[in-house]
Amino acid sequence: MIENLKYVVLVLAIMLALVLIAAGLIWLERRMLALWQDRYGPNRVGPFGVLQVTADMIKIFFKEDWIPRFADKKVFVVAPSIVMITILLSFAIVPFSPSIGVVNLNIGILFFLAMSSLGAYSVVLAGWASNNKYSLLGAMRGSAQMISYEVFMGLSLMGVVIMTGSFNMRDIVLAQSRVWFVIPQFVGFVIFFIAGIAEAHRLPFDIPEAESELVAGYHSEYSGMKFGMFFVGEYLGITLISALITTLFFGGWLGFHFLPPIVWFLVKMFGFILVFILLRASLPRLRYDQLMSLGWKVLLPLSLLNILVTGAIVLYLNNR
Amino acid sequence: MNSLFYIAAIIAIIATIRMVTGTNAVHSLLYLIVSLLAVSVIFFLLGAPFIAALEVIIYAGAIMVLFVFVIMMLNTGSTGVKKEHELLKPSTWIGPGIISAILFGEMLYILMRPASHPMTSPVIQPAAVGALLFSKYILIVELAAFLLAAGVIGAYHLGRKEKLSYHRYLKKEEPTT
């Protein structure tokens, strides 16, 4: 009984921490963008402007939550919750430290891939239910982008799976105790990173919501907390991809002994979040056909080649 | 364990019925997705986590997104709903209904026989599935690969078009048509 209660508290604490981190990232992103663009950014509310997030959240909660009359009401309401649910569920398989983690699944990576492929529905359904041409265009771009990038997002991880011999995230972390997978699986890391940016539709791959062409893409018609869920969902997506890169390629919680494992995990994760923000600060948006040809003509063959070479080397080393 | 199975099974059945009887194409597809997710839960409970994950990744995550994508592009709206209402007349569903009833009867007959399988079975690891696919069922895997390759080449052939661009920066030579 006590064990069960402890587990429930742990799960709730992880979820709360993740949502708080995602909300905090809104402030962090604006502050870092400002730093890199030689401005101040939000710096008035509270120390260093940290409470700006609270102000924004209060504003977004009290805004009128308007559903357009021409929209498909039920689907319109369901769509934003799908992104939050799928991403929060994906975090279930992430081992934050040897003792902190929700579930130890033997199909860990596959579970993440399943959830990320379901996440595409949030974009598609939001765009369709809004019944607005810009939203629909954004949704179509989004679904095409997410379907194509999911293909080699999964394939790029198979190198790691081959080297570990397991889909289990904890096994993958422990297999990196000698050398982090970023060194033998560098190609896989680069492909996963690019596919991860496309999955989280962040710049330079934010084509589904390109504001200079499509107003705000698939969430043009959303307001209030429904928009807030897309907004926080995007930052949760960044956190998820950063956490996964940390776990799969940078040794997860492993590190030197002077810091506890969870701190190592968070340090690495925030490093990648900052890289995501720096990408937004520095890169222009790709054109749609460039995105597609990069995906299918360059990254897909590369990821297949990566699997072939990794498999051959592992077989050779095992049989020697 | 058993109650979880029955909950998932009831959800799958209700969602499938709603899928068939619904008139809005996108809502029907959403019910189908729910039904696939419920079936995946059943696979997981029966000790096949690998198949459960693949069910979600491939059926619910990839194929159904493409279905939604196509229906979204067609965007039939109210005319589609009207057409669906016409399709729900008894004269259209009675034939498929009889065939389904026969299949249902066969399934009941198999289930009623005394020598039934126990519901709990050992958990099958992903590696075991892979080993079977590439030893016992290698021929089927290769045939499927042929089929997919043919599909890819066909799609490429159908989609190939001489690129016409009239923009002065993009134009390289006069269009050949």
Q: Do B57 and A154 touch (CB under 8 A)?
A: yes
Tell me the chain A residues in contact with residue B69 when contact means C-beta distances shorter than 8 Å: 124, 140, 143-144, 147
A300, A297, A218, A281: which is closest to A35 by C-alpha?
A: A281
A133, A137, A119, A31: which is closest to A79 by C-alpha?
A: A119
Structure token digits, residue A294? 């990069």
How many beta carbons lie within 10 A of that of residue B7, not counting itself? 13
Q: pLDDT tens across B71-103, in order? A: 777 766 667 777 777 777 777 778 888 998 999
**What distance in Å separates the CA atoms of residue A189 and residue A157, rounded to the nearest whole number?**
8
Q: pLDDT tens across B41-62, in order? A: 888 888 888 888 888 888 888 8
Instruction: Identify the residue with better confidence: A95 or B24.
Output: A95
Best residue in A93, A106, A218 to probe B by mutation, most B CBs within 10 Å? A106
Tell me the chain A residues in contact with residue B26 when contact means C-beta distances shorter than 8 Å: 72, 75, 125, 128
Q: Tell me, what's the pLDDT at B132? A: 86
Tell me the chain A residues in contact with residue B53 when contact means C-beta distances shorter than 8 Å: 107, 110-111, 113-114
Q: Tell me, what's the pLDDT at B168? A: 65
A319, A266, A300: which is closest to A20 by C-alpha?
A: A266
What does the H/E/C string look like for chain A?
Answer: CHHHHHHHHHHHHHHHHHHHHHHHHHHHHHHHHHHHCCCCCCCCCCHHHCCHHHHHHHHHHHCCCCCCCCCCHHHHHHHHHHHHHHHHHHHHHCCCCCCCCCCCCCCHHHHHHHHHHHHHHHHHHHHHHHCCHHHHHHHHHHHHHHHHHHHHHHHHHHHHHHHHCCCCHHHHHHCCCCCCCCCCCHHHHHHHHHHHHHHCCCCCCCHHHCHHHHCCHHHCCCCHHHHHHHHHHHHHHHHHHHHHHHHHHCCCCCCCCCCCHHHHHHHHHHHHHHHHHHHHHHCCCCCHHHHHHHHHHHHHHHHHHHHHHHHHHHHHHHHC
Indicate if the pLDDT at residue B147 is higher than 90: yes
Q: Is A63 exposed, middle or buried (0-12, 13-18, 19+ CB in 10 A)?
A: middle
Domain B2-124 has CATH 3.40.390.10: no
Q: Is A317 exposed, middle or buried (0-12, 13-18, 19+ CB in 10 A)?
A: exposed
Nearby residues of A57 by Cβ (< 8 Å), 6 or more positions away: A23, A228
Residue A240 CA: distances (Å) to CA of A197, A247, A266, B48, B161: 11, 10, 12, 26, 40
Can you state the angle between helices B64-74 and A133-164, rounded to 10 degrees?
Answer: 170
Q: Do A120 and B61 touch (CB under 8 A)?
A: yes
Q: Tell me, what's the pLDDT at B149? A: 92
How many beta carbons lie within 10 A of that of residue A88, not counting itself? 19
Number of domains in chain A: 1
| Mean pLDDT, residues B154-170 | 72
Chain B touched by A72 (CB under 8 Å): yes
Mean pLDDT by 10 residues, chain A (320 residues): 84 88 87 86 81 86 82 84 89 84 82 87 84 82 83 87 85 84 86 88 77 76 83 88 89 79 86 89 83 86 90 86
**What distance in Å separates the CA atoms of residue B53 and residue A108, rounded to the nearest whole number?**
10
Q: Tell me, what's the pLDDT at B174? A: 56
**Is position A23 within any domain?**
no
List, as ranges, residues 127-146 from A with C-beta within 8 Å of B.
127-128, 136, 139-140, 143-144, 146
**What distance in Å separates the CA atoms of residue A210 and residue A133, rounded to the nearest whole number?**
14
Chain B touched by A75 (CB under 8 Å): yes
Q: What is the mean pLDDT of chain B?
A: 81
Residue spans per domain, chain B: 2-124
**What distance in Å separates the CA atoms of residue A167 and residue A56, rounded to the nearest whole number?**
40
Instruction: Identify the residue with better confidence: B20 or B39.
Output: B39
Q: Considering the entire predicted model, what is its pTM?
A: 0.83
Of B57, B69, B126, the CB nearest to A124: B69
Of B57, B68, B125, the CB nearest to A113: B57
Residue B154, min C-alpha distance to chain A (Å): 17
Contact A68, A83 (CB under 8 A): no
Q: Is A255 exposed, middle or buried (0-12, 13-18, 19+ CB in 10 A)?
A: middle
Supply the range of the domain harboring residue A274: 68-319
Q: Tell me, what's the pLDDT at A49? A: 80
Indicate if the pLDDT at residue B119 is higher than 70: no
Q: Tell me, what's the pLDDT at A27? A: 87
Q: Tell me, what's the pLDDT at A185? A: 85
Structure token digits, residue A252? 């997860």
A46, A47, A44, A51: which is closest to A26 by C-alpha?
A: A51
Query: What is the signed CA dihedral for A85, A89, A91, A92, rounded to 10 degrees?
Result: 150
Q: Is the ipTM of this complex over 0.95?
A: no
Chain B touched by A167 (CB under 8 Å): yes
Indicate if the pLDDT at residue B177 is higher than 60: no
**Quick one: closest CA in A to B48, which residue?**
A107
**What distance in Å separates the CA atoms of residue A133 and residue A138, rounded to the nearest whole number?**
9
**What distance in Å separates the CA atoms of residue A118 and residue B67, rounded to the nearest whole number?**
14
**What distance in Å separates the CA atoms of residue B174 and residue B177, rounded to the nearest whole number?**
9
Tell me the chain B residues in contact with residue A143 when contact means C-beta distances shorter than 8 Å: 65, 68-69, 72
Best residue in B54, B57, B68, B71 to probe A by mutation, most A CBs within 10 Å? B57
Indicate if the pLDDT at residue B116 is higher than 70: no
**In the structure, what pLDDT confidence band is assigned to residue B1 with cuts at 50, 70 and 90?**
low
